[in-house]
Amino acid sequence: MLNCKTEIRDRVAFIKETLVASGCTGLVFGNSGGKDSALAGILCKMACDDTLGLIMPCGSRRNYLDDRDDALELAAQYNIETRTVDLTPVKTALELSLNDAVSLTKTAGANINPRLRMTALYAVAGSENRLVVGTGNRSETYMGYFTKWGDGACDLNPINDLTVGEMYELLRYLNAPEAILLKPPSAALFEGQTDEKDMGISYERIDKFLLTGEATEEELAIIRRYHGSSEHKRKPIPVFRRT
C-alpha cells in the first residue's frame, strides 16, 4: 500500500521544482479521459494553477464520445482549463499524402495518432511558455506500450514510476471520477482497442511481476517479448562518437 498523502506531496513538489527550473510558467497535458492523464492532470493542477488539458480526438469514434465526456468531467471536477484540438482531418490529410509513398500497416497508421497529439501539445507549449507533461506509467513503459516520439515524448513525467495498480490507488484517494476508474485501459487508437487485449496479459499480472518477480511461464514469455522488442524506446538515440 502506498502512503498516498506523501506520494502526492512529493510528486507535486517535483512538478513545481521542474517548472521553476525550466523558466516556464504553465503546464499542458493530453486529457484523454483515461487513468494516466487523469492522475497527471490532477497532480499538475495541484502544482500549478496554469494547467491546461488538451482533448485531441483523432479518428476513433470513442474519442468523440466516452473519452471526451470523461475528460470533461475530470476537468470540471478539478477546475482544469480545457481546449479541444480535432486531429482527425489532419490524420486523414497525412494518410492521403502518404498513399503514393507507402502502404501503411495498421500499427504504423495507429501510431500516427499519438505523434500528432505530441505535435499539438508542443505547439501549444511553445506558444504559451508551458512544459509538456507526460502521462506514461511504469507498467506501460516496461512493456513498451507507448509510441516512440508520440505519448513517450514529454518535458517531465510525474507518474512514470507508478504501476497501474498504484495509479488506481492514488486516483481513488484523490476521488477521481468513477467512469475513469472503471473503464478498461485503452489508447483508443481504433474501435474496440484495449491495452490488455492487445498485449494478451492483464496489468494486474504485469504489476505482480514488476513488484514481486512472480509470473507464470506463459506470462513471462509475453512480458519478455514485449520488453525485449521495445528496448530501443527506452534507450537514448544511438549516435556516432568520433574517437
Please state which CATH number belongs to domain 4-233.
3.40.50.620
Q: Copy the grid coordinates of residue 41.
A: 492532470
Q: Which three cell numbers stand for residue 91?
A: 490524420
The set of cell numbers assigned to 82 is 480545457
The cell for 20 is 521553476
Q: Report the pLDDT value the prediction gives residue 193, as an integer from 0 to 100.
A: 74
Kindly give the interhelix angle for 66-78 and 35-47, rounded to the nearest 10 degrees.
20
pLDDT (0 to 100) of residue 190: 64
Q: Residue 12 belongs to what H/E stretch?
A: helix 4-22
135 close to 36: Cβ distance less than 8 angstroms: yes
Task: Give the residue extent of every domain in the chain.
Answer: 4-233
What is the distance between the alpha carbons of residues 130 and 174, in angstroms, rounded to a whole number?
Answer: 25
Q: pLDDT value at position 87?
A: 97
Determine the residue type at 121: L
Q: Are 146 and 152 in contact (CB under 8 A)?
A: yes
What pLDDT shows up at residue 205? 96
Instruction: Could you list the beta-strand ranges (E) of the chain.
Output: 26-30, 51-55, 81-84, 130-132
pLDDT recorded at residue 42: 98
One pLDDT digit (tens) per residue for the chain, 243 residues: 899 999 999 999 999 999 999 999 999 999 999 999 999 999 999 999 999 999 999 987 777 788 999 999 999 999 999 999 999 999 999 999 999 999 999 999 999 999 999 999 999 999 999 999 999 999 999 999 999 999 999 999 999 999 999 999 999 999 999 999 998 877 666 666 788 888 999 999 999 999 999 999 999 999 999 999 999 999 999 999 998
Q: In this structure, are residues 38 and 171 in contact, taking their beta carbons and an 8 Å threshold?
A: yes
